[in-house]
Amino acid sequence: MHPFNSGCPCCLPRGGQSRRQFLCTTAAGVAAAPAFAAAMIGEAQAQPKPQAGRPILIKGGCVLSLDSAVGDFEQADVLIEGKKISAVKPNISAPNAQVIDATKCVVMPGFVDTHRHMWEGFLRNSLPDGSLADYIALIQKKFGANYVPEDCYIANLISTLGCIDVGVTTVLDWSHIQNSPEHTDACIKGLRESGVRSVFAYGYPQTASGNWKDAPKQKYPGDIARLRKQYFNSDDQLVTLALASPGGAPADLVQIWKAARDVGARITIHVGVGEFGRNALLEKIHAIEPLKSDTTYVHACTLNDTEWKLIRDSGGTVSMASYVEKLMGHGNPPIQKMLDLGMRPSLSVDVETSVPNDFFNQMRSIYSQQKDEVWERKLSGDKNPPKFLTVREVLEFATVEGTRANGLDKKVGTLTPGKEADVILLRHDMLNVMPMNNAVGAVVTSMGPQNVDTVLIAGKIVKRNGKLVGVDMNRLTRLAEAAKARVYKAAGVPDKRV
């Protein structure tokens, strides 16, 4: 048996396109398992829950590795030993492994979010019609200013478990709720308890005035040194450290960023947001100290051309939250600007107060916007418009580019032997997808949270058969409702659901 290859005559059905190319839209020269392998394995729902300590064999799925050296497969296996992927290919023999049947699933890396305010976890859908100004007035100045540490823990736990549920295996917690060191510790506790891979981006406080320096117990940014020593003394852990930077005077920001770099933490900052972002901030910072590759710029909708070139030339990364940006008035998401400069974005949810928590919506939002911009140029008579994005590129934004912006690309983001096993199984036998004709297209254009069957993080199964593993939903509900009621009362906001 030989691998499927577009140059092999016996693999070409009528029309000249291989079955593998048609289904998986993959790189050339990768293999597929025989079709009869599916019949050798039982239904996924009938599989026993894998036990700790034994290898895990994900068997017979349509595998999108997103690693060009490994390739994609119409049907193949993924072997996981300990925390890491040890093999990705058809017909793996692992007699001692526990088998997860993936014959009705797309198997791929988990989604990677590069900017989400996790402390708003129990404030979901509290501001569905709001602008950025509404968000600042209600969510930050009223709710955030009245948070107690326990609220941070509960919100982070709910939001991170929500990530796992929808197939987001890595998330950067843009945590600007550091009203006190106790708030900070509570946020980290929630992240750790959830089991999600996360980057804790230590940020500034929320206050009723809107000036973070007014918080009486805040120790920003100096407390980052304590965090590094107390919680993040190793990079070989699920939760790692970054710094979430405020805006402000360029000289002040240079000093804040130094506190991050002194402890080896990456930096993330909101820039180019609405009219506030038309201030040439990055030019002013660069004049004091050159921009570096350790920084992720969030939104970037209203930056000037010089600032864009500074980001590109410094090797910086960009996080786009196009759903929020279009909804709340940040400006037009700069997807085409990035593509024109030879750059690629990562994606993020941003605020669950106003938008869904899943990445299927995020991918479709950015994909449709770029297509719309190109069509508009064509309709306006442009004879040389930009190229259309492909679904493959958008899927890479949601995975590979996310790990790069989070500084984790050597550890996760592709199904590559040697990397840690952050893997999701997406069912394609459901009515919103079946029959699947193109795997990448199905993930980007048709699937939703209901298709997320199984999630593994660092080789540990955290969702199986559509259910989170080991999560007490009754407890979570009680905690969420109590925290919500407490915060609404403290903020003086009526707690009405209709």
Domain boundaries, the chain: 9-109+414-465, 111-405
Helices and strands in the chain: count of H runs, count of E runs: 15, 17
Please give the residue that has the higher pLDDT: either 12 or 271: 271
Please report, to the nearest 10 degrees, the dihedral formed by the alpha carbons of residues 321, 327, 330, 334 taken in order: 50
Residue 7, pLDDT score = 32
Q: What span, in angstroms and rounded, lies between the C-alpha atoms of 371 and 375?
A: 6
- Banded pLDDT at 53 (limits 50, 70, 90): confident
Please give the residue that has the higher pLDDT: either 53 or 420: 420
Q: What is the pTM of this model?
A: 0.91
Average pLDDT over residues 371-375: 97
| Mean pLDDT, all residues of the chain | 91
What superfamily in CATH does domain 9-109+414-465 come from?
A: Urease, subunit C, domain 1 (2.30.40.10)
- Banded pLDDT at 58 (limits 50, 70, 90): very high
The fold of the 111-405 domain, in CATH, is: TIM Barrel (3.20.20)
Distances (CA, A) of 408 to 164, 171, 177, 264: 18, 11, 24, 14
Q: What span, in angstroms and rounded, lies between the C-alpha atoms of 206 and 145?
A: 5
Q: What span, in angstroms and rounded, lies between the C-alpha atoms of 175 and 169?
A: 18
Same fold, 9-109+414-465 and 111-405: no
Average pLDDT over residues 200-209: 98
- Banded pLDDT at 80 (limits 50, 70, 90): very high
Residue 167, pLDDT score = 98
Residue 374, pLDDT score = 97
- Banded pLDDT at 52 (limits 50, 70, 90): low
pLDDT, tens digit, 9 for 90 and up, residues 257-314: 999 999 999 999 999 999 999 999 999 999 999 999 999 999 999 999 999 999 999 9
Q: Exposed (0-12), middle (13-18) or buried (19+): which is 305, by Cβ within 10 Å?
A: exposed
Please give the residue that has the higher pLDDT: either 35 or 405: 405
**Sign of dihedral through CA atoms 360, 361, 362, 366?**
positive
Q: What span, in angstroms and rounded, lies between the C-alpha atoms of 318 and 297?
A: 5
Residue 227, pLDDT score = 98
- Banded pLDDT at 70 (limits 50, 70, 90): very high
Residue 82, pLDDT score = 97
Residue 51, pLDDT score = 59
pLDDT at residue 162 above 60?
Answer: yes
Beta strands in 117-252 (DSSP E): 168-175, 197-202, 239-245
Residue 8, pLDDT score = 32
